[in-house]
Structure 1
Amino acid sequence: MDTTTFTYQVIWQGVVDFSMATGNTPVIYTLNIPGFNPANCVFMVIPTRAQDVQLSEGDATGNTKSYPYATTSLGQVVVRSANPSADLNSTSQTRIVAKAYAIRYGS
């Protein structure tokens, strides 16, 4: 990251744990993050366990190792174990444990 042209600040960090996701009920985290604005902030998710990294695109357990679905708005990020429009009767949810960061940037 080249910080000679802009600055950044971690405004929130925590763990999102989807390891208990099963069946057709999604796991949902609603994170209230003061100062979060999609216009100048990003939300990142980084898997923390080796078993949560997909081996290849054809990996049959790919959905259980996928990144969670995140929706951002002013002051809030909602992180879900599956896309809200997914049919969880026929699609697996993510089961990763990840470190999550909200970062504000500017010039």
Structure 2
Amino acid sequence: MDTNSFTYQVFWQGVIDFSGATPSYTLNIPGFNPANCVFMIMPTRAQDVQSAETDSSGNTKSYPYVITAIGQVIVKPKNPSASASTLQTRIVAKGYAVRFAT
């Protein structure tokens, strides 16, 4: 990344833990705007990184589904349009809200 043409600021961070029975997270993040912000998720445990494309536990190691809106980020353990039988993620990750400016 070339920060000569833009700046960025991490203005929110927290743990996103789907290892238990958490149905979803609704994060109220003042100043979050999808027009100039992103929400990133980074796994924190080695066991949550899929070892290969053919790993049979792929869904449980997949990234959560993220919905962004002004002032809010919703993180779900699987795509809302997935079937009821689809396995949901079980990862523990760190979430970051990042604002960009030019």
TM-score using structure 2 length:
0.96
| Deviation, structure 1 residue 56 | 1.0
Whole-angstrom distance in 1 between the partners of 2:2 and 2:16: 28
Equivalent residue number for residue 14 of structure 2 = 14
The sequence identity of aligned pairs, in percent, is 70
Per-residue CA deviations over 1:54-98 (Å, capped at 9, x if unaligned) read 01111100000000000000000000001111112x210000000
CA deviation map 1:6-64 (0-9, x unaligned):
0001111000000014xxxx621000000000000000000000000001111100000
Q: Which runs of 5+ in 2 are unaligned?
A: none
Runs of 4+ aligned structure 1 residues displaced above 3 Å come to none
**Is residue 89 of structure 2 the alignment partner of residue 94 of structure 1?**
yes
Instruction: Specify every segment of 5 or more residues in structure 1 that has no aligned partner in the other structure, as ranges.
Output: none
Q: CA RMSD in A?
A: 1.0
Match of 2:59, SS?
Answer: helix
Per the normalisation by structure 1, the TM-score is 0.92
Aligned length: 102
Matches within 5 A, 1:1-107: 1-21=1-21, 27-88=23-84, 90-107=85-102
